[in-house]
Amino acid sequence: MKEKKYIVFDVDGTLLDTEFIWGKIWKQIGMKYGHPSFCHDEVVGISGPALRAVMDRQLEGVSEEEKDEMLAEVRRIGLPYIREHTSLMPGVREMFSRLKEQGFIICIATTTDRSLTEERLIKNRVWNDVSFSICGNEVEKKKPDPEIYLKMAQLLNAETGEMLVIEDTGFGVEAAYRAGCEVIMIPSVNPASEKDKKMALRIEKDMHEALSWMQENIRRKE
């Protein structure tokens, strides 16, 4: 049985259903601008240069101005919609309750800025369950770079081996793996790739299955 002290959750797509909302909005904007073949699944869960790289590849020949307009409109529509409609992924409350009962320390590591992260988790009444957090505006490099998980280990004054990470995307899995963490993947929008399967400790269908496996295979490190 593996010993862990800290359970570190990604937020978007793992704790909250935001990835599904962003996917729908990206699809809507792609259609509006006359790009129905734009694969919105590829841009879910990423931001910054990685997002722009996907847009550049998929929208070859489209002007930079139009891509800027698309991105701005996605944010204009998406941010207020998510503020009103985001909800917890199935099984999150049970997961947090069981982990707290058993003395695990719940942490979050997300590429979303702190203000938005806190607002969404407070609205869904789970922010008080989180003991430590690092958000996107507090790191220089986004996932799949391992910086956020290395910084989490520093914040906890712990080894990365003491952390079990829960992620929903390949970018997150790679970031945790490169930091030296074991990671359970619960895919949200996109299924696990062969690369994900090699890096992840487990691929689980949902939070309920992940919790069931953890109860049998993970114990609290004293």
Q: Give the tens place of pLDDT for each residue, 134-169.
A: 999 999 998 999 999 999 999 999 999 999 999 999
| 3-state percent helix, strand, coil for the chain, nearest multiple of 5 | 55, 15, 30
Examine the domain organization and report whether 130 and 64 are in the same domain.
Answer: no
d(CA 15, CA 13): 6
How open is the CA angle 38-53-74, to the nearest 5 degrees? Answer: 55
Residue corresponding to tokens 């917890």: 88
Examine the domain organization and report whether 99 and 37 are in the same domain.
Answer: no
Examine the domain organization and report whether 113 and 37 are in the same domain.
Answer: no
Examine the domain organization and report whether 148 and 210 are in the same domain.
Answer: yes
Domain of 189, in residue numbers? 2-17+87-220
Q: Give the tens place of pLDDT for each residue, 3-36.
A: 999 999 999 999 999 988 888 888 899 899 999 8
Percent of the chain with pLDDT over 90: 77
Examine the domain organization and report whether 95 and 198 are in the same domain.
Answer: yes
Examine the domain organization and report whether 169 and 117 are in the same domain.
Answer: yes
d(CA 74, CA 35): 14
Examine the domain organization and report whether 77 and 92 are in the same domain.
Answer: no
Which CATH number does the domain housing residue 162 bear?
3.40.50.1000
Examine the domain organization and report whether 211 and 113 are in the same domain.
Answer: yes
